[in-house]
Every structure is written in C-alpha cells, then in structure tokens.
Structure 1
Amino acid sequence: MKIKVGFGFDVHQLKDNHPFFVGGVNLEHHRGAFGHSDADVLLHAICDALLGAANLRDIGFHFKNTDPQWKGISSIVLLKETVKLIREKGWEIGNVDAMLCLEAPKINPHIPKMQENIATAIDISIEDISIKATTNEQMGFIGREEGVVAYAVCLIEKQ
C-alpha cells in the first residue's frame, strides 16, 4: 500500500451582508466570505490538500476563478469534482483534518453538519473528518474580521 499526505490552505476576504458558507453550511453572520464560487474557505483548503497529495496541482488550476462555469457554484460541487480527479488516479481518501481561523461566528455548533456534508461529498465516514476552529485573538486581518483562513491535511491511499 502507498500513502501520501497533502496540505491545503485558503483565505477569503469577508464583506458585509454577504453569504458565509463554511463546510457547506450557510452561517448566520453580518459578514461573509467573498470569492468567485461560494468562497467556502474550508472546502477549498480540503480540495487543495487532496489535490496536492495526489500531485494534481491546486484548486485554481482545475477550477479557474475566471471561468464563468464556476461563478457562484457550491464548493461541495468542487469537492466532489476533486474527489473524482484523485480517484481517477487510483487514490482513496483515508482522512481529513482541518482548522478554521476566524473571530466570529462560533463554529463549534456547526461542526457536526460540516462533517456530515464533507463525509457525504467524499464518501468516507464522519469519523474520518476532523474540524477544529480557533480565533486569532483579535490580531491582524482575521482579528479585525476582514478575512477567514482554513488549513487542511489529508491522507490518501493506493493499493
């Protein structure tokens, strides 16, 4: 068996009165992430971790932010497409571990639904999806609620 580890990172600007999708969940908040797709920072970091582990470049290579096909699209769709790409290369997903960094809103109540959304999209057990969240202690662009950051690592396996 061969195993590989991937790392993903994403950041999005927050704007007033904009939807805020994280892990496929629309969070109630006065600010939301801005981007070409739905700007789901968590799912984008996971896509990059998976693509990187399989040596398939990055999310921007496959889903260009200049392509109208991806404008406003749910990042769940991007995650499913990413999984197709890595499975075409013979890889299966072992686990995903992710960290969100934002000041507000509180993420903890939404983690079970995020885990369910991700596990369903990539067809693995909820037990293999870890999501954590922290603040930036009111420092920097995250602390001022100007942006949100996500990090993800994954393990992929090939028989």
Structure 2
Amino acid sequence: MEIRVGQAFDAHRFETAADGGLAMPDPSHPLMLATLAIPDAPRLVGHSDGDVAAHALTDALLGAAGLGDLGSNFGVDRPEYAGASGRVFLESAQQMLSANGWRVINGGVQVIGQIPRLAPYYDAASESLSNIIQAPITFSATTSDGMGFTGRKEGLAALGICLLEKV
C-alpha cells in the first residue's frame, strides 16, 4: 500500500481602496474561502478568486500525488483561469488524482488572519470541501496575534494538508 502526505501554503492580500486602506466589502464580489462566499469582508486579490483555503488544499493534493502544483497546472500564464473559482481547481485536482490512481483519505485547511471571524463557517466550509474532494476535509481558522501581514489585516494565509493512498 502506498500512502502519501501533502502539505501546502497559500497567501493573498486583501483588495485595497484608493486611499490605501482596506476596500469596502462588495456584495457583488464577496470574499471567497473554501468555496463559500463570506459577506461583509474585503475580498482577496489574485489571478483567480483568491480563495486561499481552496488553493492551499489543491496544492497539497497535487503535491502529494506528484502532479505539480497550483501554478504549474493553473498559473497566471493560463488566461482561462482568470477569475476562476477555487472549486474549479479542487474539482480538477480531484479528477487528476483519480485519473492517476490516487484516493484522498482525508485532509484539512487552516486559514490564518485577524479578519473576518470564520468560526461560524467551519461546518459549511468543511462540508463544501468534503463534497468536492469526496473525502473528509476539516476547515478551521486561527489568528497570528496581530503579527505579520495577516495580523495587520493586510490579507489571509492558509495551510492545507492531505493524506492520499494509491488504489
């Protein structure tokens, strides 16, 4: 039996206003985390939707299977992924894993940041990620106690981990 662990990190900055402060939340372009729209929070900037949770988990999955990473598969040189949802990356990674004989046993994602408060979304985010990956995925969040770019409320980071088995 072959088992592999994958881990990954992703970070994106919050959108800023003309005055350099955080942009006001925009209901038509919400913050996306773990494929969920999080209202009343500034959105993250990125080539895609900036979903750090989905990106970190996708990178962990691809890395564990030896299938490259987010950038090599869906990078900024690929215009078809401009503005793409984190769901697209997760679904694509799941298809790539399956096509290469890998099954996800479980995984997890932890988002790091001072804002927004994410505890109310733990269950829905875990459920959404688990449904896409077809395995138990746990979502959680923590702060950096005011330190670094996440502590200064400049953006969010995420850690992803997964366990795969060859089938």
Contact 2:108-2:139 at 8 Å conserved across structures: yes
Q: Residue 47 of structure 1 aligns to a residue in which SS?
A: helix
Aligned residue type for 2:103: E
> TM-score, normalising length from structure 1?
0.93
Supply the distance in 2 between the matched residues of 1:140 and 1:111 (Cα, whole angstroms): 24
**Does residue 145 of the first structure (1) align with residue 153 of the second (2)?**
yes
The equivalent residue for 1:54 is 65
> TM-score, normalising length from structure 2?
0.89
Q: Structure 1 residues 30 and 107 mapped into 2: Cα distance closer, same or farther (>3 Å)? A: closer
Structure with higher strand content: 1
Supply the distance in 1 between the matched residues of 2:144 and 2:84 (Cα, whole angstroms): 29
Supply the distance in 2 between the matched residues of 1:122 and 1:129 (Cα, whole angstroms): 8
Report percent identity of matched pairs: 35
Supply the distance in 1 between the matched residues of 2:85 and 2:97 (Cα, whole angstroms): 19
Q: How far did residue 29 of structure 1 move?
A: 2.9
Gaps of 5+ in 2: 16-22
RMSD: 1.2
Q: How far did residue 30 of structure 1 move?
A: 3.9
The equivalent residue for 1:74 is 85
* Count of paired positions: 156
Q: Show CA shifts across 1:36-64 (max 9, x none).
A: 11110000000000001001111010001
The equivalent residue for 1:111 is 122
Q: How far did residue 95 of structure 1 move?
A: 0.4
Moved segments of 4+, more than 6 Å:
none
Q: Residue 32 of structure 1 aligns to a residue in which SS?
A: coil
Q: Show CA shifts across 1:86-122 (max 9, x none).
A: 1111000000122110101111111111111111111
Aligned residue type for 2:108: D
Q: Structure 1 residues 68 and 96 mapped into 2: Cα distance closer, same or farther (>3 Å)? A: same
Supply the distance in 2 between the matched residues of 1:131 and 1:61 (Cα, whole angstroms): 25
Supply the distance in 2 between the matched residues of 1:142 and 1:101 (Cα, whole angstroms): 7
Gaps of 5+ in 1: none
